[in-house]
Amino acid sequence: MMEWMDPAIQAYAEEHSSPEPAVLAELSRLTREKVHSPQMLSGHMQGRFLALISRLLNPSLILEIGTYTGYSALCLAEGLHPGGKLITLDKDPRVTEIAQSFFEKAGFASQIEIRLGEADKLIPGIEGEIDLVFIDADKRNYSNYFDRVIDRVRKGGLIIADNVLWSGRVTKEEKDKQTAALDAYNKKVLADKRVSTLLLPVRDGLNIAQKIV
C-alpha cells in the first residue's frame, strides 16, 4: 500500500491520538503474524476514526460488509447504543473464527453477529433500519452494495466505504477492473442526491456518505 503521509508525521499523529485498546493491539499483532494480507487490517488511526464516528452517531444497528479478523467491527462496536447490534458479513470462516474469538475477548460477543455467505444474499435478510454501514469487501461490488443498503439506511445515517483511493490508482488514466470499480463507486456516490459525500484521504481512502433525504 502506498505511503500517503511522511512517516514521521504519521508517527506523530499516532502518538498524539488515543491508543488502540489492548485487545485491538493484540489482534493487530496476531493478524500480522498469522493471517494472509495483513494490510487489510484497519489499523490504529483508521480504527480510532471509525470508533469516533460510531460514538458520535451512537448507532443501534451497524452493518459491516467484510469482517476479516474483526478489527474494524470492534472499533465500530465501541459506539453502539446500549442494546445495539452490529451484523458483520463475510464468506471466509478462517478469518471470522479469529474475529469471533476476539469479539468474546473484548466483551462484545453478545452485540456482534457474524453471518457467513455472500453479502448479496445476506443483506436482504437483515431486519430493521440501519444507522451505519461499513463497506470493506470485494471492490467490484461496492456500487452494488450501496444500491442494496441505501434505502435501508435512516436519514442522517452513514455509509462508509474503505480503500476508495486504492493506493492512488484511482487517479491513473489506465485502470484495472478493481480500480475502475472503485472510481465508478466514488463518482456514483458523489452524483447521488440522497447523500452528502466526503472522500477522506485517511490511509487508503474513506468515502463517507451521509443520507440526507
Q: What are the pLDDT digits (tens) for 101-159?
A: 999 999 999 999 999 999 999 999 999 999 999 999 999 999 999 999 999 999 999 99
CATH of the domain at 202: 3.40.50.150
Q: How far apart are CA 159 and CA 207, in angstroms?
A: 8
pLDDT above 70 (res 2) = no
The DSSP letter of residue 83 is T
Q: How many domains does the chain have?
A: 1
CB 166 within 8 A of CB 127: no
In a domain, 1, yes or no: no
Over residues 28-37, mean pLDDT: 91
In a domain, 62, yes or no: yes
In a domain, 2, yes or no: no
In a domain, 40, yes or no: yes
Q: 1-5, long-range: CB within 8 Å, 24+ apart, which pairs?
A: 1/39, 1/167, 1/203, 1/204, 2/167, 2/168, 4/165, 4/168, 4/201, 4/203, 4/204
Q: How far apart are CA 213 and CA 203, in angstroms?
A: 29
Q: What is the pLDDT of residues 50-105, one digit of tens each?
A: 999 999 999 999 999 999 999 999 999 999 999 999 999 999 999 999 999 999 99
In a domain, 11, yes or no: yes
* Residue of 213, 167, 206, 156 whose CA lies nearest to 186: 206
Strand partners, 160: 134, 208
Q: What is the pLDDT of residue 119?
A: 97
Structural domain boundaries, residue 119: 7-211
Cell of 209: 456518505
